[in-house]
Structure 1
């Protein structure tokens, strides 16, 4: 028995004390099983001192979820068979808890009289159905922290199922790694929408590992696309360009013009941000040509956002970076006219950019009116800091104009409350 330094370090890194960890483990247990947990800070002390080397299965899964590491990485280890008081792992108990967390039991087979779990296509389908719900929720209303937490939890459950020793064919295992990567990218995008860049990058660090293990180029493309977005928020346009180039080099981008188009748009953003107008326009032209060649076909749900409306929306941001707000406004009107009614988050995001384009052209009253329309949309959207930050840029332009127009002064005062 010895001190569990790995657990102590993880708690310190997450700024979680003993009592707080106990409270959060109990909350996770109740949320996943509808039954209250009974962990105390005394139990946590036992984990830290090494007195308890292998907590119960449901406790381990919740600790992993809270601290973002596997039980083994947190310094836990099952007692050996030679220990005086062994604490055997009950695989049926573990599977029952996982079933309560996911809403369906893992398949169980019996071999030589011993029960064991086997991961199959049914598990892939079950996890994928939950992933599709996350995508739909995110694309409609955003959700930021809510979506991010759900996606991170689902990724942890997929990872736990793979690490739990369940037998799986190579094909099923690859599908689960692909799904774990895609789900983690959804968590990253929710963090991007909230402009929580550190969290987004941490999610992507995990996603790139899963994507590599999946061996699938589309999954790897998904990670590079999101990495370009995170780098763009940091104004690291060299990294945006590198991520876009990595995406363009993948088989999926060479095979499907839709993926090539989106990668070229990321390149256009990088060139515009770096001040290279000629390269930005060439990349923009390539994005439009590739988009025109793409055919309707079944694709992963995450890329369904990239339609004609999104092409115009992303193009408008290139023109804003090139200091041509009139061209940006043209594309923003096209985007807002084509965005599907159920995608409120995207409508709010591009409406805020329309307000910004109008303000940069000196059309202050119109910009304020568009800003008000954006705020009305934001009342239905959760946590899109990208949008509120854009409105903050509008407000700075309006204030710096020094206008004494009553309607503009009124908007400037009112906007303090929601920016």
Structure 2
């Protein structure tokens, strides 16, 4: 047993002290598992002194992410093949983290023995497509988030494993790692777990920067705008939307410009700046009208005519014009793709809110029941249940004595 100079050198390269490494590792563990980590600077000293030669899976994988190097490059030595693959002690995440640890080891081995190629890109893209489909159907479920984190880690491990790859393939893999991490971020956004969403976003920023790709960087700014809006930091949400608009992909593709304008409209509406919000909405609609149906990355396929109406309705609700919001919500629900169960439920809930805010409680109850019928399939979407909770609060605070409304308010407690 001796000191670990490799770990000390990596910390020095990152200009990171013992307490800072412990803090960053704990944040990564929370991002990965949803549970806070418990590493202390004393644990880091034990690693540096060589007293702990092979950290357990959660800490080991998180240290790799923070310092950007593999476990062996950091001077860690597996106790045995079995120990290297031992699952972590957290029973909720035991399976996903065990798969992640094994996947990291396999990816490193594969990368060291053969060249990474387009087939690897296609394989990872196919896995990401399945995650996107799960997200559209089930919403911010923990499994969707965990699967995305696990896939991003395997892509990163493949890149760090030492295998040769062309610059084009490496760029595509960094782009994909960023996009996959953004999928984890959106699952966290939908589940209203803001700290995990920010953690995923920060990781995606790193991958996007390494890719040097405008579209990938746009994807990250889009999510940053959403996360900022969720915590009601509308100035940051607007700044992120402006950054997305400045990228070359938004300048050459009107669809990307349209979505960035829409994010700006949401931010302005959140600040109750009606003039700026309406102006941004108009820009979003005009840009959308100029786009052509070409092949684009899977993540932006959601942004079609139905989604344009759906997102527009949120702006009008924030501007306290529920009648306009209801108009766009009916249009969105009439056109939305049947596979997008999560978004359909989300907009049905907002239709209920728009009706309630106009005092039409009877219609709001009926619409809320429509949402409740499919809530069981999208339990991960806390955004939806929070919207229905707002409908209930509005009804209760109105002081209505209408029996059917009071009955709905009581029944709805079971699913919100």
Q: Same fold (TM over 0.5)?
A: yes
8 Å CA contact 1:316–1:332 kept in 2: the answer is: yes
1:416 match: secondary structure: helix
Residue 147 in 1 paired to residue 149 in 2?
no
Residue 263 in 1 paired to residue 260 in 2?
yes
Question: How far does residue 13 in structure 1 lie from its aligned partner after superposition?
Answer: 3.0
Question: How far does residue 277 in structure 1 lie from its aligned partner after superposition?
Answer: 1.1
Match of 1:200? 197
Match of 2:162? 165
Question: Runs of 5+ in structure 1 lacking a partner?
Answer: 25-43, 80-85, 110-114
Q: How far, CA to CA, are the matches of 1:408 and 1:242 in structure 2? A: 42
Distance 1:76 1:162, change over 3 A: closer
From 306, 309, 323, the equivalent of 1:309 is 306
From 235, 247, 253, the equivalent of 2:244 is 247
Bigger share in helix:
2
Residue 322 in 1 paired to residue 326 in 2?
no
8 Å CA contact 2:138–2:380 kept in 1: the answer is: no
Residue 284 in 1 paired to residue 281 in 2?
yes
- Taking only aligned residues, the RMSD between alpha carbons, in angstroms, comes to 3.5
From 159, 175, 180, the equivalent of 1:178 is 175
From 182, 193, 208, the equivalent of 1:211 is 208
Q: How far, CA to CA, are the matches of 2:259 and 2:24 in structure 1? A: 40
Question: How far does residue 281 in structure 1 lie from its aligned partner after superposition?
Answer: 1.0
From 93, 101, 116, the equivalent of 2:103 is 101
8 Å CA contact 1:6–1:73 kept in 2: the answer is: no
Distance 1:409 1:204, change over 3 A: same
Structure 1 segment 323-402 matched on structure 2, within 5 A = 323-402=320-399
1:299 match: secondary structure: coil
From 10, 13, 17, the equivalent of 2:26 is 13
Cα distance per residue 1:60-103 (max 9 Å; x no partner): 69840699545859898337xxxxxx97999xx99xx9896399
Question: How far does residue 270 in structure 1 lie from its aligned partner after superposition?
Answer: 1.2
8 Å CA contact 1:356–1:393 kept in 2: the answer is: yes
Match of 2:92? none
Question: How far does residue 213 in structure 1 lie from its aligned partner after superposition?
Answer: 0.9
Q: How far, CA to CA, are the matches of 2:396 and 2:144 in structure 1? A: 35
Question: How far does residue 369 in structure 1 lie from its aligned partner after superposition?
Answer: 1.2
Question: How far does residue 280 in structure 1 lie from its aligned partner after superposition?
Answer: 1.0
- TM-score, normalised to structure 1, is 0.80
Match of 2:53? 53
Q: How far, CA to CA, are the matches of 1:197 and 1:98 in structure 2? A: 23
From 115, 123, 141, the equivalent of 2:120 is 123
Please say which structure displays the higher CA radius of gyration: 1
